[in-house]
A and B are shown apart, each in its own frame.
Chain A
Amino acid sequence: MLRVYGGMIVLALAGPVAAQQRLGEVQAPRAPEQVYAKVCGYCHGRNVGPILLGRHLPAETVKYVARHGQNGMPAFRPTEVTPAELDALAAWIATAPARKEEHGQ
């Protein structure tokens, strides 16, 4: 029997609503917290990249660095983080509070 999973609705957990990946559909727009968790946060605040949150970095600078990739950071293209996602992400990073669990090394 061919059992194909798809279109399943999974209850959203507490916190920011995460857009689920659905079978046969392109990735839905992601909230800033989600982009941060799935892309930026793997390096920033986890030994590899500098801490971003709680530093009130100007949104324009965040956008510029994301698109150009400063120094050891790769550049992120509009196909990876859409212009709308990046606008929201940069605004969110500019105002987000610091997180205790984040660390540089």
Chain B
Amino acid sequence: MSGFSIDRRGLLGTGLGASLAAGLGTGASAANPAPLAPGRTKADFAGAMKAFRGVVGAEWVFGDEEAVAPWSKTYIPDPAHQYKPVGAVCPQSVEEVQEIVRIANTYKQPLWTVSTGKNMGYGMTAPATPGQVVLDLKRMNRILEVDADLGTCLLEPGVTYQQLKDYLEENKIPLWIDVPTVGPIASPVGNTLDRGVGYTPYGEHFMFQCGMEVCLPDGRLMRTGMGSIKGSTAWQAFKWGYGPYLDGLFTQSNFGIVTKMGLWLMPKPPVYKPFMVRHANMEDVPKIIEAMRPLRVSNLVANCNLMMSASYQLAMFKRRNEIVPDGAPLDEASLKKAATANGLGMWNTYFALYGTEQTVAGVEPIIRATLTASGGEVLTAAEMEGNPWFHHHQTLMQGGLNLDEVGLLRWRGAGGGLAWFAPVAAARGVEAERQTALAKEIVEKHGFDYTAAYAIGWRDLHHIIALLFDKADPAQEQKADACYRELVTRFGAQGWASYRTGVNSMDLVAQQYGEVNRDFNRTLKRAIDPNGILSPGKSGIHP
């Protein structure tokens, strides 16, 4: 086992061979089996699992603890080990999904639906309440249609961004995809249903979704928009259909299982020009946002910008103890020194221009003037070629694939702990300034670092705070849990609530959106899913 002594990035620990049986710090070897759903007996569970095997075959139903381990891994703080599935069932067709739903109703067995299940930092495939069987749709990975003229596609939930990109490239179809930062292993359907974000002009994913097929909690299939009209050619072309707009009901919810989704794809532009704006000081936050907002609202800058703090950027490719000694706070002087040495500022804002030679040349001077006036250095590939951070964002903003950011997971120790806290604000400099100060105060109080970015949307800010901790250290996990709750609570008190959250905080965030909203969701849930079988607890919606 001498070959295991190399530990370049800490993902493979030393002495690995000897520790196989001990569980490798995967968190999957706990002695206690996951509990069943409230009120369910072992016989109910066994009956449901047997019936599932009859639908998908024994090899695609997983029930014992070791077999379920791949669905149990999470990054989020979970000091009580409560976010654990009790099994997994993996259909390959819509008909199988319908059968599984009927069985789940019979046995009152809750199902936690995922598409590709890479909701990393939000709970991965772990359910929000005990006793759920993961309904893993990854095997349903058919690309059903791509229309090169309209720039649309129709996908099953298990199709990854990688598959879609490969298909477009292999068939020389000049359409782009738009990826979240972890594209290769995640999916357009899963990401869009959690209302995720990417970085081309099609980055607000739910805005570019068009038409769904949904398996309802009673097993019936419903198509949204134009999808229910026989002979319609506009299912992927016209979003709204007739009557109440339904698609939104199936995002961040537990009202149905989406089995097909239509998406719009952006035509590859003749010219793509990525930029980075480097600002020297932490205090530059409001200036950057004030400069960017008019460019975004007018759509002169058409893509969602990432305004990255130096610490977030460094955490991608460096370890904390390369910058400050273990135990020391991450002070601004050390951070600035490391940032400068790597060609970074304290804030690094990435955007791109898309168009023709003429349109890009026409817009560029206006944008340069605005951003230079904000005190930033406006940089392009000409100055930044070869810089790994610039390269990363250059890739992202054209829908390219990489997993560079997974490096965040070993910023601090080797334990791989991450919880995203993503409060929303209007795109105003003063709000961001106050948010940054509040976030820093809270995370530092608990012994963590402010590793954060702002995603500047059309008129909004998603303040994306990566709470990074060492999950191998139970004391740190406990602190991370407390820190996360304080972030949610104190931001909420200022009017800033999350746009999305992990299974560790779904009820907490739902409370902030108020009792009327919760009651409305609960009323819907009880009406359409009386047995409470679909993803109980998702977004704080319980049966």
A positions within 8 Å CB-CB of B? 1-6, 8, 10, 20-21, 23-27, 38-39, 42-43, 46-51, 55-58, 60-61, 64-65, 67-80, 83, 104-105
Contacts and interface: CB of A to CB of B under 8 A. Distances in A.
Interface in B394-434: 401-404, 406-407, 409-410, 414-416
Interface string B1-33: 001101111111100110010011110100000
A71 B418 CA distance: 11
A105 B20 CA distance: 26
Nearest to A73: B11
Contacts, number: 188
A72 B24 contact: no
A39 B160 CA distance: 11
Nearest to B12: A50
Contact of B147 (A2, A26, A39, A64): A2
Given A23-B146, A57-B3, A79-B139, A48 B166 contact: no
B138 interface: yes
Contacts of A75: 26, 28, 69-73, 124
Given A47-B404, A57-B4, A64 B20 contact: yes
A68 B29 CA distance: 10
B178 interface: no
A5 B143 CA distance: 11
A51 B7 CA distance: 9
Can you list the 3 inter-chain pairs with the closest CB atoms, starting with the nearest?
A72-B409, A72-B416, A104-B8
B24 A21 contact: no
Main secondary structure of the interface of A (DSSP, over half): loop
B167 interface: yes
Contact of B185 (A25, A27, A39, A57): A39
A104 to B, nearest CB: 3
B317 interface: yes
A71 B141 contact: no
Contacts of A58: 17
A68 B30 CA distance: 13
A10 to B, nearest CB: 5
B369 interface: no
A48 to B, nearest CB: 4
B415 to A, nearest CB: 6
B331 interface: no
Contacts of B23: 68
Contacts of A39: 184-185
B266 interface: no
B389 to A, nearest CB: 11
Contacts of A69: 26, 70, 73
B315 to A, nearest CB: 12
Contacts of A68: 23-24, 26, 28, 69-70, 73
Interface stretch (B112-120, B495-503, B517-525): B112-120
A55 B3 contact: yes
Nearest to B124: A74
A61 B158 CA distance: 27
Contacts of A46: 402-404
Contact of A71 (B11, B124, B145, B403): B11
B24 to A, nearest CB: 5
Contact of B73 (A5, A8, A42, A74): A74
A60 B71 CA distance: 19
A43 B20 contact: no
Interface string B33-64: 00000000000000000000000000110100
B381 interface: no
Contacts of B410: 71-72
A59 B72 CA distance: 22
Interface residues of B, number: 76
Contact of A48 (B12, B25, B406): B406
B119 to A, nearest CB: 10
A82 B16 CA distance: 24
A20 B138 CA distance: 18
Given A21-B167, A50-B9, A27 B404 contact: no
Nearest to A64: B20
Contacts of B145: 4, 6, 23
Contacts of B3: 55-57
Given A26-B141, A27-B163, A79 B90 contact: yes
Contacts of B71: 75, 77
Interface string B61-83: 01000000111110100000000
Contacts of A51: 6, 8
Of A50, A70, A83, the most chain B CB neighbours within 10 A belong to A70
Contact of B403 (A20, A25, A42, A104): A42
B8 A71 contact: no
Contacts of A72: 10-11, 75, 406, 409-410, 414-416
Interface in B81-120: 88, 90, 92, 116-118, 120
Contacts of A80: 116-117, 138, 185
A49 B9 contact: yes
B71 to A, nearest CB: 6
B149 interface: yes
B144 A24 contact: yes
21 contacts: A2-B233, A6-B145, A23-B145, A24-B143, A43-B11, A43-B403, A46-B402, A49-B406, A64-B20, A68-B28, A69-B73, A71-B414, A72-B406, A72-B414, A73-B416, A75-B72, A75-B124, A76-B70, A79-B138, A104-B9, A105-B318
Interface string B161-179: 0110011001101000000
A26 B125 CA distance: 22
